[in-house]
Amino acid sequence: MMRFPALLTGAALAVLMGAAGCQRPADVPTAAGPPPGLPPGPPAALPDSLVLTPVPAVVEVPDTLRRAIAQLHAALGPAAAALRPAVLEQACVGYLTLRRTDPSFRAGLLAVADMDLPNTEERLWVLDLKNAKVLYRSLVAHGEGSGHLRARRFSNQEASACTSLGFYRTAGSYDGIHGYSRRLEGLDKGENANAYNRYVVLHAADYASPAYVRQHGHLGYSRGCPALPPEQFKAIISTVQGGTTLLLSGPGLHSRWLDGPVATRRFLARGWG
C-alpha cells in the first residue's frame, strides 16, 4: 500500500492547538462569544471530536459468557485498560463463533483494533486468551478516506482508500514494497470481503510511528491497510500467523459472526481454546 500522509484540516488543527494550550490568534473569537454587534452563531463543527461512539452490546449473549468476558478483561490488566469492554465483547463473540464454524482458526489468539479511538492512541491489541495476557499493544493507521484523528467513514469498495470494518482471517506473509507483510481475508460479506483483492494487508509504515505523532500530532494515512509501527510490525506480524482472528471494530459494525448463542455453546464446550 502506498503512503499518503495528510495534514490536519484547519478546524482539526485548531482543536489540537486548543487542547495543547496554544495561544489563540488575536482575530479569532474566543469561547466567550462572537464580537460585539454580531448575532450568536452555531457552535463550530468538530469533525474529529474525541467523544467516542457508544458501542452496542452484542445481542443474545447469555450472562455466563458475558461474565467470562468481563473476567478476561479484568485479568488482562492495565495493558487492556483502554480496550473498551463492549469492543472486547464483540471480538470474543466473533472469535468463538468463527472457531465453532471452522476449528482451523488459531486457538487462543485474538487481535482487535478499536478504530473509533484516535489514531494517536495505541488502539490495536494482540491477546493470548488462554493465559489472559496482552502480547502486544500498538498504534495502527486507518485509511485516508476514513477520516483524520478518528476513522468515521468505512468502505469495502475498490479505490475508496477507506478502512473496512469486520472480522478478518490472517493469511500468508510475503515481502512487498513495505517489506515483511501479511495478507488479510475479509470474512464479512458487504463489509470487508474485498480486502484481499484490495491488498489490505498488515505492513509497516513510518507514518504509523510514535515519532510521526510527535512531529505531526496525528498518524499518517494508508490506502485502507491497518499499518503498523516500524518498531513493532515484525513481532506482531510473526505472531498473528495464518488463521488468526482479527477484528477491526468501529461505528456501524455489522457482522454475521456476532452470534451470542453460537459463541456461548463454543465457550461452554471448549473455553477459549
Residues 6+ apart with CB under 8 A from 223: 1, 2, 4, 143, 144, 161
Res 9: pLDDT: 37
Cβ–Cβ under 8 Å, residues 91 and 249: yes
Measured CA to CA, the distance from residue 49 to residue 46 in angstroms comes to 5
pLDDT tens by residue, the chain, 273 residues: 433 333 333 333 333 333 333 222 223 233 333 334 434 445 454 456 789 999 999 999 999 999 999 999 999 999 999 999 999 999 999 999 999 999 999 999 999 999 999 999 999 999 999 999 999 999 999 999 999 999 999 999 999 999 999 999 999 999 999 999 999 999 999 999 999 999 999 999 999 999 999 999 999 999 999 999 999 999 999 999 999 999 999 999 999 999 999 999 999 999 999
Express each pLDDT in 63-108 by its tens digit.
Answer: 999 999 999 999 999 999 999 999 999 999 999 999 999 999 999 9
Q: Which three cell numbers stand for residue 143?
A: 485509511
> Shortest CA distance to 69 belongs to which of 121, 112, 116?
112
Determine the straight-line distance between the first and last CA of the chain, rounded to whole angstroms.
Answer: 34
- Amino acid occupying residue 111: A
Res 258: pLDDT: 98
Measured CA to CA, the distance from residue 251 to residue 153 in angstroms comes to 9
Which CATH code of 3.30.1330.80, 3.40.190.10, 3.40.50.300, 2.40.440.10 fits the domain covering 86-270? Answer: 2.40.440.10
Strands 201-202, 109-114: parallel, antiparallel or unpaired by DSSP?
unpaired
Cβ neighbourhood burial of 261 (10 Å; 0-12, 13-18, 19+)? middle
Res 47: pLDDT: 52
Name the DSSP class of 218.
S
Domain boundaries, the chain: 86-270
